[in-house]
Structure 1
Amino acid sequence: MTTDEAAPHDLESAVAVVGMSGRFPGAPDLDTYWANLRDGVCSLSAFTEKELLADGADPAELRHPAYVAAQGLLADADRFEADLFGFSRAEAAALDPQHRVLLETAWSALEDAGYAPLDAPSRTGVYVGGSPTEHALAAGTDPALAASIGALQVRILTDREFLAPWISYRLGLDGPSMTVQTACSTSLTAVHLAVQALLLGECDAALAGGVAIGSVRRQGYVHYQGGIFSPDGRCRPFDEKAAGTVPGSGVGVLVLRRLEDALADGDPVRAVIRGTAVTNDGSGKVGFTAPGVDQQTAAITEAWAAAGLEPSAAQYVEAHGTGTELGDRIELEAAGTAFGPRADTGIALGSVKSNIGHADAAAGAASLIKTILMLEHRTLAPTVDVTSPLAALQDSPLRLVTKAREWPDRPGLPRLAGVTSVGIGGTNVHVVVQEAAERRSRPSAAPGPVVLPLSARTAPQLRLAADRLARRLREADDALRLTDVAHTLRTGRVGMPLRGYVVAADAREASDKLAALAEGHRGTATDPLGEAWLRGEEVSWPALGGDVRRVSLPTYPFAGESYGALTLRRAPAQEPHEPEQSGLEAQVAELVIEALDLTGAADLTQTYFEAGGDSLTAVHLAGRLRDELGIDVPIQLFLEPITLEDMTHRIVDMKQNGHADGALDALLAEFEAES
């Protein structure tokens, strides 16, 4: 059954992904992102001491024995084409890099859908979220900046609650505009909310996704026992050697429309969202930051029920997959329960975090976009750096993909996948996504030359736009109808000052002429409307005739200058010191009291959990004991049913008698700080 022949009940409950754009570590665009995924590239960066110092790292921090010089770095995150979005230089410098990058990505996503970003469908909503940033923290504590542009303006330009409103304002989008925050599951929750809004009729199109750019600087992190971060700068989801994730940056935005509307309007359907669901673990887990099994299972089963499908119909699951012992184990258990036993070879499993690290608020968008690209290319991309898949997979319906392979077809059934995202605090999201069915073939348009108009803000950008389009037409091998390309360029792009055009009768001729234009050669063929376009006039392009559609074409090549980012002034790192043994117990007790916010020593008669301790506090306290007092405390000590006073004695004894070796045992997983 073709998409055009979809049953009415399918159309009523399905949402089409008609456009998408993203930037991730090692990938400035989605073509590069896909190539990296397909080829099993790990895009995590390892930095030299010289690079870190050049970006302002504290030399004392680099000497920390557990410092890991790795990150999923987003290149050029400090650059922004401010004039295009109407920001002055002062505003652009104050604007958080997350806002800048998200604005440009929203623009590109609309172009990918074939819509001019300043002329999007009416009632277009925005559902996005972001992560905390160093820039925002620094801006909020900079009195000089507040005195220069005003405290309210500082907040408006840096606070992540304004991520969605800035997009709506600068692009003229009049649908609901909501900044979504559910920690690591933010961007997939945003997709869920956008899907629900479309199905309820609250908007007719929606931008959904997220961004995470904690810092534009090259920087690493300190690995702590029981923390979420990997000790070696690599993320190995569902591997026996998995020891944590790696912080990463990224941005991803998808354009969604009701499938029925997308088909009627000739939109480029890249995939179909069949069902979504969101749950929360509530109190049914070991601690606030820990994940839970039951509600992850519920999110999966509810999403597939919303899709009108059995979970067993899935061929692939893109997992949250942080590469942490607790998170991976719980996710396997939840998915195994939801998807049930399989008589065949099982359901393929993967996690993009092995490639790009944990992109926090953008992680769900990175996963969903990866899955859509796999559906489009009918290829399963590998989870990298995995050498020993978890033994628990042997009793699971899931099978980890470690080598790229063809995504097999199934007679009578489309390719189907599930995407899961889990956030600290317990918000679980699952999305059921289906490949876009082949559109019904159409008669070729009447032969004859057509005008393909291009524009940009600068001459180099115009040449780059021509080169990218030439490559796209050459690689398409006549799969693109030239009338569709012309229609998309005429109606789906914003006219800019520097302009060019070519006249061609087929894709090969167009590609050759565009390549020449990219090299600065205009050519001899002219067209009256094309010449009017060159002069900057508003052109009323004639109808192309026949059934024309929007198609996915290369988007605007942003080339803004660097506006940098604000950084926090860092106090020199304190070297661990050897306290006097006579005062050691008092110092340990003081740290415990401060970490748990106790009133005084009288409260030390409680156990750790009775005093309100949780996994996040345990990691924080263990880190302070290590850094400030030079004591490595096994996290499992906090699990023991002893009073805080006895725990304090034990910690002092560890220091005096050398019993603490800093090793983790199986109980450490129960304090995993990342869901």
Structure 2
Amino acid sequence: MTPSTREPIAVVGIGCRLPGGITTTKDFWDALCRGKDMVSEVPSDRFHAISFHDADSRKYGTIRNCKGGFVDDIQSFDAEFFGYYPAEASRIDPQQRLALEASVHALEDSGTTLQHIAGSQTSVFIGTFMSDHLCIQTATGQRDNISPHVAMGSSGCSIANRVSHRLNLHGPSITLDTACSSSLVALHLACQSLWTQESEAALAGGVNAILRPESTILMSKAGFLSPDGSCKSFDATANGYVRSEGVGMVFLKPLSRAIQEKDRVYALVRSSLVNQDGYTAEGFTVPNLTAQAALLRSVYAQSGIDPAKVHYVEAHGPGTSVGDPIEANALGEQLGQVRSEDEDSLWIGSVKGNFGHLEGAAGIAGFIKAALVTFYGEIPPQVNYRNPNPAIDLQSLRLAIPTKMIPLTPDRQHKLWIGVNSFGAGGYQCARYP
């Protein structure tokens, strides 16, 4: 089977728990349409952010801002539903808990019962990034409190493996870390597993939890975070990102099976690719325009989709002064400037304006937004965008950024073409097109 003729993958279920009390696709879409910014102060049940904050980034042990995107009551968990006793449940990483719950919600959203999926060749691919819970459980002061449940309760592999175990799923089960592109790379691998018929269905997504100040300190010292605590994607004042937590999971099936089982389909994945920058003189964490443009060329050549027909791209767009212009220039070069004079500019945006940067779950949050844009046929406004970054020539690149709801007009085949980008600090990149 060649890439251009392989069967599309249907997104039939979505589960999420995101900042601002978002727990359903309806909540998610409503927040996007209303242009809500879900970033808030660091909750008191995490750490005392004020005591770590200092405007002088040169000082050791400090954080650049006291804000973030946080889920409500992250320690809550329906252990009884999943059959866990308190001794084990108390040692399970909140990331594992969130992944379990969101997987069940994605299945429920698709109308699939746990009894129906149990024993099936369903795979689980989950992206992650930080390990705050592991640091808590294995801290020097906790050595004598390490119980038999800590090993698997705090390990990264258990995030995916626990979902497969509790739901009795027999397909591949993989947790992966490619930094901020982790969850979209997880989705890429899930689609590959379906296309090769290694799996008959797949759960794919990502999760992130902010439990300790140390991970925020290290991202502050690396220079990634915004001093004012907001993601201003493609804006002139973009100065870094704000950290966020949450989980997103999607349930995937081959389109023929989704049709046979009369599933509601949010969107279709037709192609996806991953690449790496390789060595760049600019530095390990600096994105590369040439590599991003090459990935875009490759994925359209593979899929047979005309890049000039793309309606919208859900960009990585973290709101950094370096990353945003590079991504915008790659999109403009490959998708914007190929449009004819009478065609509209390419719309681009980023969900990070609404929820902040979910790091290991950032890609799946963007993918869910793209799926809902496809499903509803509208593009929500870009939050925290007022004036374009002067390093991005929107006019010459044939790009546009929405400041209000934009209705989309399907092509002659009644299709909407949407792209999704996600990048990692180490140069790992992924693009996919539902």
TM normalised by structure 1 equals 0.59
Whether contact under 8 Å (1:16, 1:258) holds in the other structure is: yes
| Alpha-carbon distance in structure 1 between the residues aligned to 2:231 and 2:222 | 15
Q: Report the counterpart of residue 29 of structure 1 in structure 2.
A: 24
SS at match of 1:431: strand
Deviations 1:403-448 (A, max 9, x none): 1121223333411100000011111100011xxxxxxxxxxxxxxx
Please tell me the root mean square deviation across aligned C-alpha atoms, in Å. Answer: 2.4
Deviations 1:112-137 (A, max 9, x none): 12111243172100111212132211
Q: Report the counterpart of residue 91 of structure 1 in structure 2.
A: 88
Matched, 1:120 2:114: no
| Alpha-carbon distance in structure 1 between the residues aligned to 2:387 and 2:111 | 44
| Alpha-carbon distance in structure 2 between the residues aligned to 1:80 and 1:337 | 47
| Alpha-carbon distance in structure 2 between the residues aligned to 1:226 and 1:98 | 24
Q: Report the counterpart of residue 152 of structure 2 in structure 1.
A: 156
The one-letter amino acid paired with 1:106 is S
Q: Report the counterpart of residue 138 of structure 2 in structure 1.
A: 140
Deviations 1:566-605 (A, max 9, x none): xxxxxxxxxxxxxxxxxxxxxxxxxxxxxxxxxxxxxxxx
Whether contact under 8 Å (1:39, 1:404) holds in the other structure is: no
The one-letter amino acid paired with 1:310 is D
Matched, 1:412 2:413: yes
Matched, 1:375 2:370: no
Whether contact under 8 Å (2:184, 2:422) holds in the other structure is: yes
Shift in Å at residue 20 of structure 1?
A: 1.1
Change (3 A) 1:199 1:223: closer
Segments of structure 1 that go 5 or more residues without pairing to the other structure are 1-7, 434-675
SS at match of 1:328: helix
Change (3 A) 1:76 1:11: farther
Q: Report the counterpart of residue 233 of structure 1 in structure 2.
A: 229
| Alpha-carbon distance in structure 2 between the residues aligned to 1:253 and 1:428 | 20
- Bigger Cα displacement from structure 2, 122-131 vs 94-103: 122-131
Change (3 A) 1:40 1:425: same
Matches within 5 A, 1:111-510: 111-120=108-117, 122-141=120-139, 144=142, 149-150=147-148, 153-215=149-211, 227-339=223-335, 340-342=337-339, 343=341, 344-391=343-390, 392-433=393-434
Change (3 A) 1:352 1:58: closer
SS at match of 1:257: strand
The one-letter amino acid paired with 1:415 is L
| Alpha-carbon distance in structure 2 between the residues aligned to 1:16 and 1:59 | 45
Whether contact under 8 Å (1:15, 1:273) holds in the other structure is: yes
The one-letter amino acid paired with 2:385 is V
Shift in Å at residue 62 of structure 1?
A: 4.0
% identical equivalent positions: 34
Change (3 A) 1:134 1:224: closer
Q: Report the counterpart of residue 60 of structure 2 in structure 1.
A: none
Matches within 5 A, 1:73-112: 73-112=70-109
Shift in Å at residue 369 of structure 1?
A: 0.2
Change (3 A) 1:411 1:63: closer
Matched, 1:57 2:48: yes
| Alpha-carbon distance in structure 2 between the residues aligned to 1:92 and 1:138 | 15
Matches within 5 A, 1:573-592: none
| Alpha-carbon distance in structure 2 between the residues aligned to 1:285 and 1:173 | 44
| Alpha-carbon distance in structure 2 between the residues aligned to 1:60 and 1:271 | 45
Query: Which structure is larger by alpha-carbon Rg, 1 or 2?
Result: 1
Number of equivalent positions: 419
SS at match of 1:390: coil
Whether contact under 8 Å (1:117, 1:171) holds in the other structure is: yes
The one-letter amino acid paired with 2:361 is A
- Bigger Cα displacement from structure 2, 198-207 vs 222-231: 222-231
Change (3 A) 1:338 1:178: same
| Alpha-carbon distance in structure 2 between the residues aligned to 1:115 and 1:394 | 46
| Alpha-carbon distance in structure 1 between the residues aligned to 2:263 and 2:345 | 34
Matched, 1:17 2:11: yes
Whether contact under 8 Å (2:70, 2:245) holds in the other structure is: yes
Whether contact under 8 Å (1:185, 1:361) holds in the other structure is: yes
- Bigger Cα displacement from structure 2, 36-45 vs 405-414: 405-414
Whether contact under 8 Å (1:307, 1:432) holds in the other structure is: no
Higher relative contact order (CA 8 A, sep 6+): 2
Change (3 A) 1:222 1:424: closer
